[in-house]
Amino acid sequence: MRLTNKIAMVVGAGQTPGPTMGNGRATALLFAREGAQVLAVDRDIDSAQENVELIHQEGGEGRCCSRRCYR
């Protein structure tokens, strides 16, 4: 695993409900599969938490928080 002992913060890691997977969620899952501890950040905490649950189901480590990122 290439990202073991690394922490990855993925902003926009949640997912709008629907049949597809967004870039943020896909990135967070990929980083977790490669061994990173993932911090999933999204404005929708429920969506970010759902992503963390997917990470945990695959045996990865993850946490989430809700933030609005703007200028």
How far is it, in rounded angstroms, from Cα 49 to Cα 68? 16
Q: State the pTM of this model.
A: 0.87
Instruction: Kindly tell me if the per-residue pLDDT of 2 is higher than 80.
Output: yes
Spell out the domains of the chain, with CATH numbers in brackets.
7-66 (3.40.50.720)
pLDDT reported for residue 60: 97
- pLDDT digits over 15-70, tens only? 776 778 889 999 999 999 999 999 999 999 999 999 999 999 999 999 999 987 77
- pLDDT digits over 10-30, tens only? 999 987 767 788 899 999 999
